[in-house]
Every structure is written in C-alpha cells, then in structure tokens.
Amino acid sequence: MFATFDNHHHNASHVGVWLAMPLGIQELLVRQDPKRFFVPPYVGGRGWVGVRLDGRPSWKRVEQVVREAYEFIKNPLPRRGRGQGEGTRSTTRPPSGRAAPRDRRR
C-alpha cells in the first residue's frame, strides 16, 4: 500500500491523502509547505507524509507526490540491517517502538 485516503480522520479539519515516502522526504515537504503537507498519525513516524486536498491544491504537485509514493513502494530500497544499505521500512520493531516479544516456545 502506498497511499490511504484521509477524510477528516479523528475529526481532523482536512481531507487529505497519506503517502509512503523515503526517509527524509517527509521532513523536507513539511518544512517547505506546512500548509499543504503534514505528518500523519500512526504512520508519520515511518516517513509517511500527509497531503491536504481541501482548499485549492496544486493538482500537478499532488499528482507528482502520489507518483513518487507509488514508485517508492513499487521499487523499494534495500532494508536496513545486517550490512545492507540504508533502507526505509525496517520490520525489526512494531509500531509502538518497543522491541517485539520473544517467542518462548524454543
């Protein structure tokens, strides 16, 4: 999944879309245009960026970031860890940020 629709999620004041992005892009977009881009709940800590669609967005810009998110998921970078290059979606920790419980059956 590379995008999810945000229709006033948890009574937010906007309609938008959340997009999976490579690390660093979220911060850059939010810093460049905080009225249009935001850090979404739940997935924002993993680099996803929110794009407000209400108001008068630049639909060419929206198309551009949606395509970038699609390409990012379609062609993922190597995952971080075990000597591999910088990655983006590490599955070593659950979303809570705590270490996953060990399997005690072994």
d(CA 11, CA 92): 32
- Answer left, alpha or beta for residue 60, where phi above 0 means left and psi between -120 and 50 means alpha: alpha
**Ranges of each domain in the chain:** 3-74
In this predicted model, what pLDDT tens digit does every residue of 39-86 receive, in sequence order? Answer: 998 888 889 999 999 989 999 999 999 999 999 999 866 655 444 344
Mean pLDDT across 6-18: 78
Q: How confident is the model at residue 102 (pLDDT cuts 50, 70, 90)?
A: low
d(CA 26, CA 32): 10
